[in-house]
Amino acid sequence: MDTIPIESKILNKNRSIVIYKPINYTKDEPVKMIYLIDGEFSKYRFQSLQENKPTTNLVGVGIINTDRRRDLLYTKEANKFLDFIASEVIPVVEKGYHVGTRILYGHSFGGGFTIYALLNKPQLFDAYIASSPSPLMKLINITDYLRVDITLNKKTSLYLSYGSKDMGQVRKWIQNLNENLSGARFNYLDWKFTIFEGKKHNNSDIPALINGIAGIYGSD
CA gap 195, 198 in Å, rounded? 9
Q: Is the peptide bond before 135 cis (omega within 30 degrees of 0)?
A: yes
CA gap 144, 112 in Å, rounded? 15
* The pLDDT value given to residue 139: 97
* The pLDDT value given to residue 151: 96
CA gap 168, 80 in Å, rounded? 29
Side chain identity at 93, as an amino acid letter? V
Of 93, 79, 129, the closest CA to residue 108 belongs to 129
Structural domains of the chain in order of their starting residue, each with its CATH number = 2-217 (3.40.50.1820)
* The pLDDT value given to residue 55: 77
> CA angle at residue 214 from 134 to 172, to 5 degrees?
25
Buried b (16+ CB within 10 A) or exposed e, 143-179: ebbeebbeeeeeebbbbbbbbeebeeebbebbeebee
Per-residue pLDDT of the chain (220 residues; tens, 9 = 90+): 889 999 999 999 999 999 998 767 777 789 999 999 999 999 999 999 888 866 788 999 999 999 999 999 999 999 999 999 999 999 999 998 899 999 999 999 999 999 999 999 999 999 999 999 999 999 999 999 999 999 999 999 999 999 999 999 999 999 999 999 999 999 999 999 999 999 999 999 999 999 999 888 764 5
| Residue 130 bridge partners (DSSP) | 106, 160
* The pLDDT value given to residue 155: 96
